[in-house]
Structure 1
Amino acid sequence: MGNTDKFEMIAHTYDTPERIQIAQASADALREYIVDAKSKKAMDFGCGTGLVGMNLIDGFDSMLFVDTSPSMVQQIEHKISDLHIHNAATLCFDIEKEELAGVHADYIFMAQVLLHIQDIELVLSRLYRVLNDGGHLLIIDFNKNENVVSDMVHNGFDQAKLTDMMTQIGYRHIQSKTFYNGSKLFMGQDASMFILDSHK
């Protein structure tokens, strides 16, 4: 998946106060869409150091933390061990290269992950197959931002266009809204973030 090399380098210093704050706000936004999940399996996809998933883990039967960066996965493994968490597992995997076979989840969330993915339709299609029937894919990412110019990441997303693409894949009951605004939030630019909920 995109930018793995970059994340390998910053894994040990990733948990800055700013990132922790945004992860907390993201987890709070996600909680609105998580219902009766104590018996459900969750996946924090593109988990990084697990900042979002660790905030939500108590609400699920189990959580799988998935990332392409071995160093990021190592960081989350340290947290799981240090906090004596028993309902979590990790997986270092690149879904852009192959299907995530034999793994299923009732809730998949991806926070600020989509902007790093080159072939968005491919990844969303593969995640659709990972979801159990009735499951949710929850996406948090940046709204389209013309002030961001980068060949490393997408400059955000148009919620309506993303909804159309996901509808074509098969996702249904899609709803989205902007929930967070911040200064110098995205590549040094003021930006806003949205949350999108979809069902299989």
Structure 2
Amino acid sequence: MGNTDKFEMIANVYDTPERIQTAKVSSDAIREYVVDATSKKAIDFGCGTGLVGMNLANEFHSILFLDTSPNMINQIEQKIADFNIRNADTLCFDFEKEGFSELSADYIFMAQVLLHIDDYEFVLARLFNVLNDGGHLLIVDFNQNENIVSDIVHNGFDQAELADIMMKIGYKTIQSKTFYTGSKIFMGQDASMFVLDAQK
């Protein structure tokens, strides 16, 4: 996945107060779409240090923290041990490079991950295959922001365009909304975030 090298370097200092706060509002937004999930399996895709998934772990029967960065996974494993979380597992894996046929989930969520993925349509199609029938993919990311100019991340997403791409892949019942606006939260710029829920 994109920018793994960068995340490798910052893993042990990643959990800043700002990121913890953003993760809290992101997990609250995701939680609104999680229904009767105590028997369901979840994947925190591109989990980083697990800030979002840790907030949601109690909602599910089991949760898999998946990331391309070994250092990020190490951070998660430490938290799982420290907090004695019994329904969590980890996997260091790159979906852009290889498929993983044994993986399945009822809920997949990805918070501020899509903007780091170069060919995100390809990854969204792979995640569709991982979802069980009726399962949900929940995306939290930035709305498109013309003030962001970067060659390492997308400058956010247009919710309607993203929904169109996902419908072509096969997702249905897609709904999204902007839920948060913050100061200097996206590469030093003021920005807003959306949550999108899509079903298989």
Into which bin does the TM-score normalised by the smaller protein fall?
Answer: over 0.9
CA deviation vs aligned residue, 1:78-132 (integer Å, no higher than 9, x gap): 0001111110000000000011220100000000000000011100000000000
CA deviation vs aligned residue, 1:158-182 (integer Å, no higher than 9, x gap): 0000000000000000000000000
Q: CA deviation at 1:59?
A: 0.7
Q: 1:31 is matched with which residue? A: 31
Query: Structure 1: which amino acid aligns with 2:156?
Result: G
Between Structure 1 and Structure 2, how many residues are aligned? 200
Query: Structure 2: which amino acid aligns with 1:169?
Result: I
Secondary structure of the corresponding residue to residue 52 of structure 2: helix
Secondary structure of the corresponding residue to residue 65 of structure 1: strand
Q: 1:193 is matched with which residue? A: 193
CA deviation vs aligned residue, 1:33-65 (integer Å, no higher than 9, x gap): 000000000000000000000000001000000
Q: Is the 8 A contact 1:179 1:193 kept in 2?
A: yes
How far, CA to CA, are the matches of 1:101 and 1:49 in structure 2?
A: 25
CA deviation vs aligned residue, 1:139-165 (integer Å, no higher than 9, x gap): 000000000000010000000000000
- Residue 151 (structure 1) aligned with residue 151 (structure 2): yes
How far, CA to CA, are the matches of 2:100 and 2:165 in structure 1?
A: 21
Q: 1:128 is matched with which residue? A: 128
Flag structure 2 segments of 5+ consecutive residues without an equivalent. none
Structure-1-length-normalised TM-score: 0.99
- Residue 60 (structure 1) aligned with residue 55 (structure 2): no
Question: What is the percentage of aligned positions where both structures have the same residue?
Answer: 73
- Residue 103 (structure 1) aligned with residue 103 (structure 2): yes
Flag structure 1 segments of 5+ consecutive residues without an equivalent. none
- Residue 91 (structure 1) aligned with residue 91 (structure 2): yes
Q: 1:169 is matched with which residue? A: 169
State the Cα RMSD in Å.
0.4
Runs of 4+ in structure 1 deviating by more than 2 angstroms, as ranges, are none
How far, CA to CA, are the matches of 2:178 and 2:197 in structure 1?
A: 12
